[in-house]
Structure 1
Amino acid sequence: MITIVAYIGAALAEIAGCFAFWAWLRLDKSAMWVIPGTISLALFAYFLTLVESDAAGRAYAAYGGVYIVASVLWLWLIEGQAPDRWDLLGAAVCVVGAAIILFAPRAA
């Protein structure tokens, strides 16, 4: 359960942090957006350390699928652009891949 919560927290923190830089550099917002963006990105890294995995690379790889789904949700809920069928199909494929990486039985 902590893994799912950690991944959701990491996704929100990473997207919010990256969006802060996007807002500053692409949407002509104040450079002050960088401050909460940097804090948010540090939180993202912290959340990934909470993932129950025997290897960091595996935790990061599985997180990729969660990040993609969260990004599509951000596109829809924050930016107001409805995802198309290709966004949804791509996100679904990534979640399946992430689940395989994270939950596959491994030899001890």
Structure 2
Amino acid sequence: MAAIIYAGAALAEIGGCFAFWAWLRQGQSPIWLLAGIPALMIFAWLLTLAPAEHAGRAFAAYGGVYVAASLVWLWLVERRPPDPWDLAGGALVLFGAGVILFAPRG
């Protein structure tokens, strides 16, 4: 369930942020914000569903997923394949997110 929540949050956040990027950095119409703002709201709501007792831990674990999802976005949407350093960094942060989220705590 955590994987679905974090994947959905990543898609919503990256899509929402990209709408602002397209408007401000690529000269696209402000109409892009009509999709970007609700996407960012969905992102925030999804993070409240994360299976963690504390917000900081949920956000920290999500950070790793966000980095990896951003590399997928880079590849699929922006048509720039990640280089070996991108892939190594993505693997490291995903491992770290797993440690944070699934570590046995007493």
> Could you say which TM-score interval applies, normalised by the shorter chain?
over 0.9
What amino acid does structure 1 have at the position aligned with 2:49? L
What amino acid does structure 1 have at the position aligned with 2:61? A
The aligned counterpart of 1:28 is 27
TM-score by length of 1: 0.96
TM-score by length of 2: 0.98
- Superposition map of 1:19-98 within 5 A: 19-98=18-97
What amino acid does structure 2 have at the position aligned with 1:63? Y
Q: Point out where structure 1 has 5 or more consecutive residues left out of the alignment.
A: none
RMSD over aligned Cα atoms: 0.5
* Count of equivalent residues: 106
Partner of 2:73, secondary structure, is helix
Structure 1 residue runs of 4 or more that deviate by more than 3 Å after TM superposition: none
Q: CA deviation at 1:32?
A: 1.0
Q: Point out where structure 2 has 5 or more consecutive residues left out of the alignment.
A: none
Of all paired residues, the percent bearing the same amino acid is 57
